[in-house]
Structures are given as C-alpha cells and as structure tokens.
Amino acid sequence: MILAIESSSSVCSVSLQTESGHIIDRWTEGRAEHSKKLVLFIGELLEEASGSIEQGLSMLQKVIISNGPGSYTGLRIAGSALRGVLFDRKVDVWAASTLAGIACSVFKAQEERPSLDILDPACIRSNYAGIQAVGSVIHAVIDARGGFSYYQPFLLEQSGLMALADPRRVANSTIQSALNSEEPSFIVGSAWANFTAGESKSVQQEMEKRKQFFHARNLLTLLHLPSQTGLSSILIDKLEPYYLGNNQVNNTSISTLKD
C-alpha cells in the first residue's frame, strides 16, 4: 500500500492506495486542522484498508509526502507525524515538490483512468480538456502575497512532467505574460484566482478548485508518472521541508484567494 500526505497549505489531505489499486481519502480544511486530524486520518485509512492500524502499517510499502514550498506549520506537523507513524519501520519515503503535486491536479486519479497513457485525453480532468497533451505548459503557483507567487512551470511530456525552471518567487505580471503566450498554458494552484480577473466564480467552484489543487491523490499520480519530476527518495530522519526563503513561512493559506 502507498500512503500520501498533503499538508503544505491550510488543507489537510491524506490518501491511501490499497494493494488492489483502489484509493481512499480523508480531506479537511481550516486553521489548526493538521494537528487535530492528520494522525487520525492516517489511522482511519489504514484501518479501513486492512482491518486494523497495525495490519495496515505492516502492509505499507511507500509513503509520499508534500515537502514544500508551503506553510511552515503544516509541513512541520506532517513531518513529525510521519516520523512517529514510521518509527522503527522500514518503509520507502518519498519527498515531493508541492508545486509538482499541484501540477498533477490536471490528471485524473489513477483509478479513474481508462488508460495509464497520459497522452490519452481520458487521463486529463474534464476541466482541463483543452490540454493538447505533449507540449502544453502547466503553470503551478502558490500565493506569496504582495503581487507575487511561488511559481514553477512544467512541460507535459510523454513521460509525464518536465520542470522548465526551478521553483522561485515571481511577480504575478511575469506569470500572466507567460500565460498569454501562444503555447497552450494552464494555471493551477492557490494563486489561480489572481489570474482570472473578470471571470465569475461561485464559492462552490472556488472550494472545488482548492480541493482539487491540494489533494494527496495528486502525489500518488506524481509517484506513478515515469518522469518522477519533483520527487526524491529520502530517509525519514533526514526529511526537512523545502523553503524558498525565510519570508515564506506561514504565508500559503489558500484562504487568501481573491475573487
């Protein structure tokens, strides 16, 4: 089984892929939810999949955790929780770029795909049906406030995603220029509303977008892509959140989205 944890924003999301390939989830959003719910969610999923938490832990083969950029508090809580859950257990641990995970929100969950070929349009979520497979650019963003975003562009390739640049803090005007280029481009992430001025968005639409972008299922997709962009295998005691700078701490709550 494979456990995935996304805690880089105000969202707390945990997914578990069972041995049959079925994916089960827990997801919530709000202040202080990580400390209240993360370990509880992990235990519930393990028990649901195997009958007991201990049996689930014995069947666990891999863990993938979103590792930043993101909220200092959320990432630290997840890292500490994972150390406790995996204490004295031999389980492969993968640290994932939060921005690469966000980019994977354009794909359907693995169990929803009729095909594992990402070139098959059936692998793309319906709200990104305009993606022309290979050659499309996915712009992943996290709101950094003050007219800036933490940003990384990815090229959709036959093997998955290719990072076109390192993660960096960029003016939103620069990202807007990239979106206006001739190549097919799509914006995903917690700053997406900064680039959709004039478009009408209901509260329900906004909530669904947030849930889609910050979902642990995206990390499972990232792990299964041949390219494995933004992933690194790591010893659990060496897990440290990735930050772009000290001014990033606690500034990625997705509640900052503006209409």
Higher pLDDT, 116 or 94: 94
Cβ atoms of 188 and 102 within 8 Å: the answer is yes
94, 136: one domain? no
pLDDT of residue 64: 96
Number of domains in the chain: 2
* pLDDT at residue 234 greater than cutoff 80: yes
Q: Which domain holds residue 193?
A: 115-202
pLDDT of residue 235: 87
Closest CA to 162 of 241, 110, 97: 97
185, 218: one domain? no
Q: Is residue 143 part of a domain?
A: yes
DSSP per residue, 66-131:
E--SS-HHHHHHHHHHHHHHTTT---EEEEE-HHHHHHGGGBPPGGG-S-S-TTSGGGB-GGGTT-
pLDDT of residue 12: 92
Q: Is residue 209 part of a domain?
A: no
d(CA 135, CA 119): 11
17, 98: one domain? yes
81, 7: one domain? yes
Q: Is residue 107 part of a domain?
A: no
33, 159: one domain? no
Query: For residue range 29-71, what is the model confidence (pLDDT) as tens digits?
Result: 887 888 889 999 999 999 999 999 999 999 999 999 999 888 8
pLDDT interval class at 200 (50, 70, 90): low
68, 189: one domain? no
53, 91: one domain? yes
Q: Is residue 207 part of a domain?
A: no
144, 225: one domain? no
d(CA 6, CA 142): 14
134: CB partners within 8 A, 6+ apart: 119, 156, 157, 158
Q: Which CATH number is 136's domain given?
A: 3.30.420.200
16, 70: one domain? yes
Query: For residue range 121-148, what is the model confidence (pLDDT) as tens digits?
Result: 778 887 776 666 678 899 999 988 888 8
d(CA 107, CA 85): 29
43, 15: one domain? yes
